[in-house]
Structures are given as structure tokens and as C-alpha cells.
């Protein structure tokens, strides 16, 4: 796996990473799997990527990456550690850095909205992209981060309760002037539902909408063993669809030679395929 470039150690305030909030109206939509896998793909593309687990009561990013959360955002708050935030970020073997969520739900009350925002702003100085997964809905912490975020990835599924509440969330964000920040991911898009993909697109009318396929066994297994599917099976359809999403959403952040390398690779594959005919 291609690792990311070295992280900024000096905290260059002139350049900060793109802050991407990954949120949902309801739980159980697959935000954690999407966040972990997306971070892997961005790191492969040599983008310095940090994940902040902002699901302060029941965050599972460390589990999804098989990282022991020996130090978390709780310690950042207790030790006023935002100025030395690198020391609190755990390193994954892919090159991802993780600011882990608290290890116990009762610790969440120690992390105020301002404290979470301060820690998040600190890690932005380290990276090209900061992915923050948050708990469902409009908590005080979420609202502050939504305001600061460069973009908001809203995750839903095709079930009617999720769609209904997602529509309400989009309407609320629009009323707050955040409509242009929203990208929509419809996870488990081919799961049984009375709503088809065209129906969902018509319902939300969000230009940046992506659909991810439903592979419950593979995704659940990857979460259980702490190996994201984009690592364990990069050719899987879920991995490929998420790669397309990453290309679309983060194209402006990619190093200039990445698109050209891909074009050369694709041409090579095309020539190789045609030579077999």
C-alpha cells in the first residue's frame, strides 16, 4: 500500500486540511465503514489523512482499523493537548492518523462542543484531509462542526425512516445556509426497499449523490477483524464504488500527477485487454 506523505509537525497555520464531516440523521447507516475505507483510499493517493472520531459515546473507528485506543480525545481535553495534537493521534499502518473517541460513553460529557472543535482545528494543520465521523442528528458538537466544515457527507440508506429523517436533515441544513456543503451517500443502495435509486435522487435532488452497494457479510467481517474492505479486497465492487466517490469529492486535493498516472494505467489495461481478443 502506498503510504501518505509525512505529516506536518510544525503546525503550518497557512495551510489547513479540508474538513469533511461524515454524519447522518439516524444510526446504523454505515458511517464508520465508509469513513475508515474512505480514509484508506485517500491515504493510498498520498493525501495526508486524519480521522477524528467525533461519535463521542459509541465511536468505533479504532475498532474498524484494529487500533488500540491507548490515548483519545479525552486526554487531549484533560491535558489541554491541542497545541501538541500530534502526540495524541494514533498511527495506522496505512499512514492514517486517528484521534480516537473516548473509550467509555460517560467520558463524552467531558468533551464540549468547543473542545471537539478546537481539537479538530488542531489536526487540520497536520493534514490534507480531515474526516470527522459524528453521532447521528443535530447535537451541539455536530452543529458547531457543521458550521466549520468545508463539506458535509450525509449518509443514509433506502429504508423509509432513514430517508424521511435524512430529508428533514437536508431541509434543516439548507435553512442554515449549508446546502452547498452537502454530498449524499446512499449506502446499502440495492437493499430491498420500495424506493429505487431514481426515486431517491428525485426525493433529495442533491447534485453530489453517490450510491454504494449492499454487501452485509463482507462489510461486517471487515469491521470485525479491523481490516477495511479497501485493504482486504480492493477489487470488490464496494471498494471500486467508494474509489469513484473519493475521486469525485477530493479531485482538487490530489497531487497533480495522480490523474495522469491513472490515465496511463487505464490505457495499459485497455491495450492488455485488447491483445487477448
Of 6, 5, 2, 7, the closest CA to residue 44 belongs to 2
d(CA 143, CA 175): 13
Residue 47: half-sphere exposure toward Cβ, Cα within 13 Å:
27
pLDDT digits (tens, 9 = 90+) for 58-70: 999 999 999 999 9
119-137 pLDDT, tens digit each: 999 999 989 999 999 999 9
Confidence of residue 157 (pLDDT cuts 50, 70, 90): very high
Confidence of residue 9 (pLDDT cuts 50, 70, 90): low
The DSSP symbol for 71 reads S
**Does pLDDT of 10 surpass 90?**
no
Q: Round to whole Å and give the CA distance between 203 and 256.
A: 36
With beta carbons less than 8 A apart as the criterion, state whether 213 and 205 touch: no
Is 5 inside any structural domain? Answer: no
Please state whether beta strands 151-156 and 18-23 pair in parallel, antiparallel, or not at all (unpaired): parallel
Taking residues 192-199, report their average pLDDT: 91
**Would 44 be classed as within a structural domain?**
yes
Whether residue 202 lies inside any domain: the answer is: yes
Indicate whether 116 belongs to any domain.
yes
CA dihedral 8, 55, 154, 141 (to 10 degrees): -80
Residue range of the domain that includes 203 = 19-256
pLDDT at 2: 43
pLDDT band at 140 (very low <50, low <70, confident <90, very high): very high
What pLDDT digit, counting tens, does each position of 82-120 carry? 889 999 999 999 999 999 999 999 999 999 999 999 999
Residue 8 pLDDT more than 70? no
List CB contacts of 92: < 8 A, sequence separation 6 or more: 65, 67, 98
Cα separation, 107 vs 268, in Å, equals 52
- Quick check: is 201 in a domain? yes
Q: pLDDT value at position 1?
A: 42
d(Cα 135, Cα 25) in Å, to the nearest integer?
Answer: 9
Q: What is the DSSP string of 167-202?
A: HHHHHHHHHTT-GGGEEEEETTTTSS-S--HHHHHH
185 in any annotated domain: yes
Domain of residue 127, CATH code = 3.40.50.300
| Distance in angstroms (rounded) separating the CA atoms of residues 108 and 101 | 8
Distance separating alpha carbons of residues 130 and 127, to the nearest angstrom: 7
Q: For 257-267, what is the mean pLDDT?
A: 45
Which residues lie closer than 8 Å to 240 by C-beta, 6 or more apart? none
Grade residue 250 by pLDDT with cuts at 50, 70 and 90.
confident
Cβ 65 vs Cβ 101: under 8 Å: no
Select from 250, 264, 214, 269 the least CA-distant residue to 44. 250
> What per-residue confidence (pLDDT) applies to 116?
95
99 domain residue, yes or no: yes
Q: What is the DSSP letter of 13?
A: T
* Position 259 pLDDT exceeds 70: no
pLDDT at 73: 96
Question: What is the reported pLDDT for 38?
Answer: 96
What's the whole-number average pLDDT of the chain? 87
Whole-prediction pTM: 0.86
**Count of domains forming the chain:** 1
Stronger pLDDT, 153 or 3, i.e. the higher one? 153
Does some domain include residue 264? Answer: no
| Residue 266: per-residue pLDDT | 45
Evaluate if residue 6 carries a pLDDT over 80.
Answer: no
Instruction: State the Cα angle at 151 between 248 and 210, rounded to 5°.
Output: 40
Amino acid at each position: 500500500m502506498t503510504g501518505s506523505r509525512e505529516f506536518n509537525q510544525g503546525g503550518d497555520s497557512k495551510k489547513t486540511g479540508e474538513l469533511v464531516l461524515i454524519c447522518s440523521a439516524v444510526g446504523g447507516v454505515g458511517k464508520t465503514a465508509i469513513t475508515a475505507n474512505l480514509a484508506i483510499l485517500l491515504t493510498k493517493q498520498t493525501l495526508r489523512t486524519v480521522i477524528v472520531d467525533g461519535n463521542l459515546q459509541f465511536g468505533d473507528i479504532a475498532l474498524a482499523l484494529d487500533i488500540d485506543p491507548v490515548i483519545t480525545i479525552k486526554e487531549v481535553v484533560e491535558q489541554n493537548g491541542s497545541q501538541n495534537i500530534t502526540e495524541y493521534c494514533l498511527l495506522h499502518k496505512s499512514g492514517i492518523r486517528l484521534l480516537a473517541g473516548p473509550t467509555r460513553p460517560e467520558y463524552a460529557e467531558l468533551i464540549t462542543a468547543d473542545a471537539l472543535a478546537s481539537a479538530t482545528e488542531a489536526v487540520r494543520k497536520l493534514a490534507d484531509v480531515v474526516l470527522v465521523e459524528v453521532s447521528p442528528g443535530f447535537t451541539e458538537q455536530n452543529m458547531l462542526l457543521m458550521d466549520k466544515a468545508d463539506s458535509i457527507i450525509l449518509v443514509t440508506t433506502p429504508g423509509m425512516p432513514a430517508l424521511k429523517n435524512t430529508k428533514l436533515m437536508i431541509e434543516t441544513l439548507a435553512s442554515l445556509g449549508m446546502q452547498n456543503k452537502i454530498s449524499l451517500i446512499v449506502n446499502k443502495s440495492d437493499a430491498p426497499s420500495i424506493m429505487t435509486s431514481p426515486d431517491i435522487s428525485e426525493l433529495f435532488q442533491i447534485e453530489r449523490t453517490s450510491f454504494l452497494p449492499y454487501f452485509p457479510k463482507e462489510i461486517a467481517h471487515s469491521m470485525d477483524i479491523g481490516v477495511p474492505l479497501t485493504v482486504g479486497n480492493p477489487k470488490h465492487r464496494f471498494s471500486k464504488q467508494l474509489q469513484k466517490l473519493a475521486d469525485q469529492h477530493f479531485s482538487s486535493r490530489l497531487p497533480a500527477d495522480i490523474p495522469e498516472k491513472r490515465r496511463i494505467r487505464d490505457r495499459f489495461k485497455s491495450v492488455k485487454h485488447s491483445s487477448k481478443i
